[in-house]
Structure 1
């Protein structure tokens, strides 16, 4: 029997996974991390690459431990949290337990490495003296998995779908070899389905923009930030004496201490917008981290934007795209709206 997903003919096993993912109940994103980890483990298993779908023993199985799954949980949640601090559950007063463990490790990392975020895959926890904390985090996450998500994922509308076998005593998940090969074969499609559903969940938990882009980029090998140098000629129009001044302290800035800052944190906006960019002292920028600005800072930014728009409209940049974007942002009250949203 075959199902159809976006015009692609697939077998019944994948259709069952799609049905579970699309219709599962949830109060956090654990189920999507679970699904993604199982598919990724099937992709990473080199034995599956050496077999064709017709060269298997029907009794053969492939088994993954909860610790292997937990390590991927840590990777997913680390990357989504350290860069974007995405809320992963509906209870705003109490974080999901796994997220608590991940954030604790992130905080330990920041005490040693500073506030500059880094992809999970590029961190050497042993070299940082965090190997013990890292292993403890994996263990704690693995202990949460059998409590609910491991067996609940298979249940939908009072039905249980035997898409894998659980062994709580051995702390393992086993697949028929054929099924794991199917997940491997359709992994690209599965990752799209999972990320789409994960994004839907996150949109219900978060007010921040560009959720889909944040989920997608978290899977990439590197999260790059664009150069802000192209905004300098526009920001310079604010000042009449050809000097630059720190938005926060009003001090004159030397070239060596000048940086451009996102007033509403980049981790929330995930975009570079003239109405949210200011000159500031490099030291202040480094110390700000991802803190939500106070209301008086927002009021100051609103005043700055009105002034900057007047200056741009009387400059050679009067018809530029940047000037039009700033004008629209003022009319739509973007600064205050996004600031309120960033407060959660």
Structure 2
């Protein structure tokens, strides 16, 4: 899908093979994190980049998909295991996607003891990532000879092979940083969007294979820049509340249309979207209490009945063209073959049971807290 821009002075073919035969997340995260560091430094890097700085960036990049969205990186992945073991102080700006450039998250990670994961990743990933630049030179090598060979080759052939980087020492035990080749920094500066898009696409393919049943993986790999506004969805429910009295399905409190909060019945951090079929009005305090928990089954019928009420009232009180536009996600995601069937409670209930029950089970298995009840 992505073709990297050509450059006559650099081995773009080797760059395009960085992720060949990759069986874990490390190379993807290492390269994406390196791009983040280069960009954050305005493509003006003259000093070595330490292994630790790159790995802190890797852990920060891995935090959102693993801890927030609960994606799997694979059963043997040590990055996810390490993140699970860290006692990070996660502040509201991080959770609300206001942590510009992951600064707070990187600081929280840096303040932890991560020497074990730094040593583990540094033992292989920095060397194996650039092996495609020396594929012929290392063909047939025993595995234990590869790292030392790449250290020497990247140093001795730095000017003619032009690998992404070389290392700051001649022996692996002394290596703790990489030195970027200047022409590659210029290449990334000129082509950052395309290179980042290519690496992100490769990362997405890897993660989709390990999360085959998870919805919307593409929107869970990186920290969203900001949450989308719910103004249209709020207007929809305010219209419904104008014509009908509605009680919160969790607290049974009568709702005031001017003081509602919209609840994602399936947590946003699981579905990563704001479609109307998953949104219902509640009070701000109830919504805050529910957070990203999965509601108890005792609310399921009331949720469907409220959605049916919303569809029926909106059908009767808003222009047909607008109603048809509003209900498109219901038809598409709930797989209901025509708009009028949304007004049939039996058909709607059946569609919700078929669609949501497997997702609830999947989210629970993925680690989202289940059986939440408002108290």
| RMSD, aligned α-carbons | 3.7
Q: Whose RCO is larger (CA < 8 A, sep 6+)?
A: 1
Summarize the Cα distance change of 1:205–1:108 in structure 2 as closer, same or farther, 3 Å threshold: same
Contact 1:306 1:330 in 2 (8 A): no
CA, structure 1 residues 252+303, in 2 after alignment: closer, same or farther (shift >3 Å)? closer
Deviates more, 1:192-201 or 1:35-44: 35-44
Structure 2 regions of 5+ residues with no counterpart?
A: 140-145, 155-162, 337-350, 367-375
* 1:293 to 1:15, Cα distance in 2 relative to 1, 3 A: farther
Higher strand share: 1
1:283 aligns to what?
A: 285
Residue 211 of structure 1 corresponds to: 217
The two structures have a TM-score, normalised by structure 1, of 0.73
Q: For 2:72 and 2:113, locate their aligned partners in 1 and report how far apart those are by CA, in whole Å.
A: 18
Mapped contact 2:93–2:99 kept (Cα < 8 A):
no
**Contact 1:298/1:335 (<8 A) preserved:** no
Shift of 1:9: 2.6
Question: 1:179-232 deviations in whole A, cap 9, x for unaligned?
Answer: 4444444433321111111111121223333333444x63xxx62223323223
1:65-214 matched pairs, under 5 angstroms: 65-81=50-66, 84-91=68-75, 96-103=77-84, 107-109=88-90, 116=96, 118-119=98-99, 121=101, 124=104, 134-137=110-113, 139-155=115-131, 159=139, 163=163, 164-166=165-167, 167-206=172-211, 207-214=213-220
Equivalenced residues, count: 314
Cα distance 1:146–1:257, how it changes in 2: closer, same or farther (>3 A)?
same
**2:22 corresponds to:** 25
CA 1:325 to 1:192, structure 2 compared with 1: closer, same or farther past 3 Å? Answer: closer
Q: State the 1:105 CA deviation.
A: 5.0
Instruction: Give the Cα–Cα distance (whole angstroms) in 1 for the partners of residues 362 and 218 of structure 2.
Output: 17
- TM-score normalised by L of structure 2: 0.68
SS of equivalent residue, structure 1 residue 261: strand
The 10-residue stretch of structure 1 (293-302 or 114-123) with the greater mean CA deviation from structure 2: 114-123
Match of residue 316 from structure 1: 318
Conservation of the 8 A alpha-carbon contact between 2:50 and 2:178: yes
- 1:60-101 per-residue CA deviation (whole Å, 9 max, x = no partner) reads x8632112212321331234456x52524121xx7x332344
Q: Is the 1:260–1:279 Cα contact (8 Å) retained in structure 2?
A: yes
Cα pair distance change 1:307/1:138, threshold 3 Å: same
